Amino acid sequence: MIICEDLLFSRGAILEKYNAADIIFKEGTAAKYYFQIRYGTVKLNTFLEDGKEFVHGLPFDGHCIGESYLFTDHHYAINAIAVTDCEIIKISKTKFLQILLEKPDLMLEINKYIADRMHFRFMISSFLAISDPIVKLMKLFDHIKSYFGFEEAYSFLIPYTRQQIATLTGLRVETVIRYVKKMQEQKLVKIESTKIYY
């Protein structure tokens, strides 16, 4: 959680519920709200001219979305779409910026969060130059495991489905399934039921 929910609600935030596939905000629209995911998973994407989709990230519980646009006058260059049913805390841009002016420590937290997200996006875009599926998968798994502060082997449950992993790495889902099994054979991951531990 980036900002304490109680603080947001005390300043007029509301809780909105979204069903899977609902649009939270669309590319080309103005950023008018700070959004913080209470629970659920959201897809940040762009649709290309040929109809293909490029996924920038899959933030979930505790993450905020589209926050960097609140510091500019640019319109969103991405869409935010609920992947699962979600509850999202929403507060106006004006009230959000007022909170940050009153609590500069929160500004540092938001800056750190934005820097972490930029690092993730730079890493994801580097996948375009990597041909080895295992290298792509390990790079993604290393990042999210480290982000959540896990170090021991098999201590971290990968929070994404195989389809979501495929979307983030630019691989086909069949390729992800095949190479995750190879990673298990190489003792790089442990699979229990359908869950991947790294």
The string of pLDDT tens digits covering residues 50-106 is 888 888 889 999 999 999 999 999 999 999 999 999 999 999 999 999 999 999 999
What's the domain range around 49?
5-127
CA atoms within 13 A on the CB side of 150: 15
If asked whether residues 115 and 156 sit together in one domain, one would say no
Kindly report the CATH number assigned to the domain that includes residue 160. 1.10.10.10
If asked whether residues 20 and 110 sit together in one domain, one would say yes
What confidence score (pLDDT) does residue 24 get?
98
Using CA atoms, how far residue 105 sits from 110, 167, 198, in Å, is: 9, 35, 33
Using CA atoms, how far residue 30 sits from 69, 73, 143, in Å, is: 8, 8, 31
Span 19-24, mean pLDDT? 98
Distance CA 54, CA 167 (A): 8
If asked whether residues 104 and 176 sit together in one domain, one would say no
| Highest-confidence segment of 11-15, 44-48, 122-126 | 11-15
CB 139 within 8 A of CB 127: yes
Domain termination site, one of 82, 105, 127: 127
What confidence score (pLDDT) does residue 2 get?
87
What confidence score (pLDDT) does residue 189 get?
97
- 158-185 pLDDT tens trace: 999 999 999 889 899 999 999 999 999 9
- 102-156 pLDDT tens trace: 999 999 999 999 999 899 888 888 887 899 999 999 999 999 999 889 999 999 9
What confidence score (pLDDT) does residue 51 get?
81
Whether the pLDDT of residue 1 is over 80: the answer is: no
Q: Which residue has the tokens 């609902």?
A: 22
Distance CA 139, CA 143 (A): 6
pTM: 0.84
Domain termination site, one of 127, 157, 179: 127
Rounded to the nearest 5°, which phi and psi values hold at 180? -65, -40
